[in-house]
Each structure stands twice: as C-alpha cells, then as structure tokens.
Amino acid sequence: MNSLELVSPAKNLMCGIAAIEHGADAVYIGGPAFGARNAASNSLEDIAQLVSYAHRFHVKVFVALNTILYDSEIDQAIEIANAAYSIGADALIIQDLGLLECNLPPIPLHASTQLHNTTAEKVAFLEHVGFSQVVLARELSLSQIQQIHNQTNITLECFIHGALCVCYSGQCYMSAFATGRSGNRGECSQMCRHAYSITGLQQHSKQSAYYLSPKDLNLSQHIGDMIDAGVQSFKIEGRLKDEVYVKNCTAYYRRILDAEIAKRPSVQRSSHGSVSYSFTPDVHKSFSRSFTNYYIQNKRNSIANILSPKSVGEFIGTLTHIQGKHIQINTNVALANGDGLCYYRNNELLGVRINSVTGTHIELAEPIICDIGSSFWRNVSVEFIKQVERSKSCRYIFATAMFKEIDNGFRLTITDQYGYSEQVEHICTKELAQNSQKMQETITHNIQKTGASFFKITDVSILWNTPFFVPISIINETRRNCLQLLENKRQNAMLRVEKQIIKNTIPYPIQQPVDARLNCSNTYAQKFFERHGIVNVPSAFEIKADTSVPLMTTKYCIRYECGECPKQSKSNIQASPIYLKDNKYRYRVEFNCKTCEMLIFSETHL
C-alpha cells in the first residue's frame, strides 16, 4: 500500500510544531546555513526539538540544504549533513550535486526542485545516482507527471500551494545579475515582483506593470488527479510564512488529502494521529496574490497578476455607496473592526483598514476615492487570525486503557490505536472501597485525564475481584508514567530509512543544458559531472557571469498573458522580441514558440 504525505513548511521551530499539530505528515525546515531561504535558518538544537516532537506522530523532518555551494563551504555543509543525521532528521533536500562526491552520512536525499526536474530522463538519472525522492518542477502537467511516474520508481513530490517562481526553479539568474543576490544561493531579490516598462507589444507598449509576477499556486481541486498520476508527496510552499499561514494551509489540505485517501483503498496516510480544529480552514483568508492552477491541466494559462505583486486575499463584493471614509459593499461576508480591505484605483492596488462596522455601514480609517461598482477584497481578517492563533494542541492519538488487579496491587495497560502498548504496575495494600461504584468512576475519570499529553483515552476497562481504594494521586502518577513509556516506545518505533550513495557513471541526460545552467560552483560538482560524462564543465553563473545564457527561462509567456500570442491571436502577430526595462537595466525577451517557452536576456553588459 502506498503512503501519501502532506509536507508543510517551517520557518522555525514553532512553525514546525504548528504544522505537525494541524496535520502535516512531514515538515521541511532550513538548517544553520545553505538553505534556499537564507532568512529562514535554524539552529541544530531547534531542529532536534522538532524531530523529537515530530516522531511522536511518525511525522518526518526534512532539512533543506538546497543551495549551490562554493569550495570553501563544502566542509561546513558536510558537518551540517552529519549533524542532521545525528539528531534524527529523516532526509536532506539538496541542490548541489557535488555533495554526492562527498562522504555523506546514510541519510536519504531529496532532489530539490532547484535541480530543474522536468523530464522522465532527468528524474530517472537522479534516481539512479542515489536520490530517494524528487521534487518536480511546478510547471509540469498531469500528463507529464504521469509519464515520469510510469518511467521511474522514485517517490515524486509536487508543490500544491504557495508562491510561484516565474522562472524554472534553479534556472533564474536575473537576481544574481541585477543585484548580486542569487536565488541559487538562497538570496533571491525577487526580480519577478518588480515593475517594468515594456516595448514591443501592440497593446501595452511603454506601460509600466508587473509583467513577471505570477499569482499564487492553488491545486486544491486537483489533488485526486495528482494521486492518480503518481504523486505521493504534496508540498506547501512557505518557509518565510508565519504560524497562522502554516496552520491554515496545512489544515486546509489535510482535509482534502484525507477525503481523497478515503476514496482509494490502495493508499494510506504516512503519519499517525487525528486532528481537530476550532476554526474552518480557508486558504483565501491567508496571504495570496489570488490563485492559479498554473499548468497542471493546460499547456497555456493566464497565470500572472500584472497589476500588483501584493496579497489581495478573498473577494468580498462590490462597492455600492461611498462618502469620504463611509462606504457600503454588496457582500455576504461578515466584516469586523480592524479588517484590511483592498481595491484597485487607476490599476494600482490600494489598501485601507476598517474602523467600525454597523450593519451594512462601514467606516474606514481614512477617506478613499473609488468608483461605484469597484471590486473589494479582504486581505486581513482579524477574527479569523484570532481563531487560528487560538488553535493549539489539536493533534491526538486515540488509546484504550485497562486497569487490572494483580496479587500485590494493580497493573495499568494503555494501548494506542496503532497497536503500541505499555504497562505500569503499582504495588499497594488493598483496602476495601467504601463505595465501589464511585471508586470505579474515579479510576475511569482520572485515567482519561491525559492533560497535556497527545493521547486521548476513549475507553477504560476495570478488572478486579473486589473493588479496593486507590488514591487519586496514585492513579494520576501511574497514568503519567504509562503514557510517558508509551510515548517513548512510539518515538523509538519510528522507522528510520538509511541509504548510502554508491557512485556510478550513468550518463547525465543530454537534453539538459550544458552551460552555466548546470550550476556547477565547486570542484566536487565538477567531478560529479565529469564522472557522468560531461566534458569541459562550465562554471555556474554565480562564479562567472555568462550573459549569453538566459537570465530566465520560463513556461510563462508575456505575449500570451497580454493577448498577443501568435498561436492564439487572430491578427497577424509575430513572435518578435519585446523589451523590459526597470530603473537600472534593459532586458530582451525572446519566444520559443516550438517549446512554448520565454527567455529573458540581459541587454546591459556588466
């Protein structure tokens, strides 16, 4: 039976615990260095705490070590890898293939999406060189995923929610070129979220807009299809997001994935425990730039919001009345004091807070100018945030207990729903209970008082010949000791997969680019590529800036987004280059209509 996992992001220890509490089967978190989110690093001590907490529920912890490395950093990266293995981490997510030339511990390796995993040939190669799991490129369709699944035997992981890189992951050098901060080094300056003026289009010439800014990914309607296509690991993006975002998104997709698992007897959830929330999960109430399903179904799709890179949140309705800071909106959404609203004026996204709500009348914190009929969104819901913040300790494991008389006292046995069991005996003098019914109720009540434990005891059976008195303090102490033993047993029973890399000479897929896009930034990576058949391995862009290669290669197409695709338009439009310009550089945008890809080059030499 195949196990499916929901993988949630962890900016830090508390976000990781929040993800586990709200249903994650695995959590990915950055280590002390070399994570693709440089601003989300964590100490090994915090990761060790997260591992301990996660393994209670048989939840896995993946440590992100997914940047390219320089020669001077290899030793430190190996130290982190060994430390992660020592504290019980379940896998490393890596980008730099030079690590496979090093003396790594026997910890499973996951191929980061930064490795540009777009074809069955590339995924098969990664499988054969020793990876246990591959994070596929976000741009793939269901049919492409199915093809990869049919031709490989490795666990496939896909992003299902969160921010999108407009460029193929690992193939973007625009940030490194323009700011010296490389996405491949965990320091992306998000050039795709910048405004650019444009020339070369018929309808948008010289207009400034966010032409490279995609909406956020939301594949909640496609989870079942993805399972059927062979995806086993479902990943939420967001290692820079806060606890509220992590709780809400994890809980939202937990419900969806559980519903899909229930329809399929051949699959099961990979971790243990049930979750119960005091709020209704809704991803529209968390940060989003509005949503797209990207290319999961269609080869071409409108996926950008060129008007703004900011969060818009949930659509609530249209403006029906305005007078200064007093407005009315045609909406069925219950608004509250402090909520944040946003709207467009002259193609600019503007925001304002609500001071008070009285019936249908809304008083804003300041006057606004807006046309009747304009759309409004709520990007901050104060009440929802409070509800999510209050949601804690909501994951538990059911168990049953047996209180049984023995010759010199009693034995308490607790067995959880997965068959793990522990027992504790207490030696005592048996004094006849004055009220046997009350004593039995007292024992039952106090054994079920599991307090801060994650166990929930649903049934207590009591077996004795003659009811005898047991002090409440003794019942509680015995229960605590037994639950602690059971927790320890569960943690120790967590199966840890180990895998050692065995070097080989399988040829590197020839359809992959053999230029700076190999991202070879150290002599270990050079040795890896040479061993797999690449001659004259080029240096990474971060080592030697090569502006002959595209700064971005994307499946996204500005021409299609703006209605000027030669294949789609009825008018005579050529796929000639267009140009983007910010306040510093000019970029040439070319179109490969055969592969449906867009390439961005520098028009400015460094």
Q: What is the mean pLDDT of residues 162-180?
A: 95
Mean per-residue pLDDT of the chain: 95
Split at pLDDT 50, 70, 90, the class of 566 is confident
Question: Does residue 300 surpass a pLDDT of 90?
Answer: no
Q: What is the pLDDT of residues 362-408, one digit of tens each?
A: 999 999 999 999 999 999 999 999 999 999 999 999 999 999 999 99
pLDDT at 563: 87
Q: What is the mean pLDDT of residues 464-479?
A: 96
Q: What is the mean pLDDT of residues 480-501?
A: 94
pLDDT at 571: 66
Burial label for 559, CB within 10 Å (0-12, 13-18, 19+), is buried
Query: What CATH number should be reported for the domain whose range is 280-390?
Result: 2.40.10.170
* Cα–Cα distance for residue pair 437/329, rounded to 1 Å: 61
Q: What is the mean pLDDT of residues 149-156?
A: 98
398 with 417: CB under 8 angstroms?
yes
Closest CA to 131 of 105, 112, 103, 144: 112
Burial label for 203, CB within 10 Å (0-12, 13-18, 19+), is exposed
3-state secondary structure (DSSP) of residue 490 = helix
Query: What CATH number should be reported for the domain whose range is 2-164+215-277?
Result: 3.20.20.70
Maximum distance among all alpha carbons in the chain?
Answer: 98
Q: What is the mean pLDDT of residues 157-172?
A: 97
Q: What is the mean pLDDT of residues 43-53?
A: 97
pLDDT at 50: 98
* Cα–Cα distance for residue pair 531/533, rounded to 1 Å: 6
Q: What is the pLDDT of residues 278-298, one digit of tens each?
A: 999 999 999 999 999 999 998
Q: Residue holding tokens 């997001």?
A: 241
Question: Does residue 568 surpass a pLDDT of 90?
Answer: no
Q: What is the pLDDT of residues 408-433, one digit of tens each?
A: 999 999 999 999 999 999 999 999 99
Give the helix/strand (H/E) hosting 568.
none
Q: What do you get for the CA distance between the two ends of the chain, in Å? A: 55
pLDDT at 564: 86
Which string of DSSP letters, residue by residue, matches 391-419?
--S-EEEEEEEEEEEETTEEEEEEEETTS
- Give, in order, the Cα–Cα distances in Å from 36 to each of 82, 187, 188: 19, 7, 9
Question: Does residue 531 surpass a pLDDT of 70?
Answer: yes
Give me the residue spans of the domains in the chain.
Answer: 2-164+215-277, 280-390, 396-493
pLDDT at 64: 97
Q: Residue holding tokens 């948008």?
A: 204
Split at pLDDT 50, 70, 90, the class of 606 is very low
Question: Is 280-390 the same fold as 2-164+215-277?
Answer: no
Q: What is the pLDDT of residues 182-217, one digit of tens each?
A: 999 999 999 999 999 999 888 766 678 999 999 999
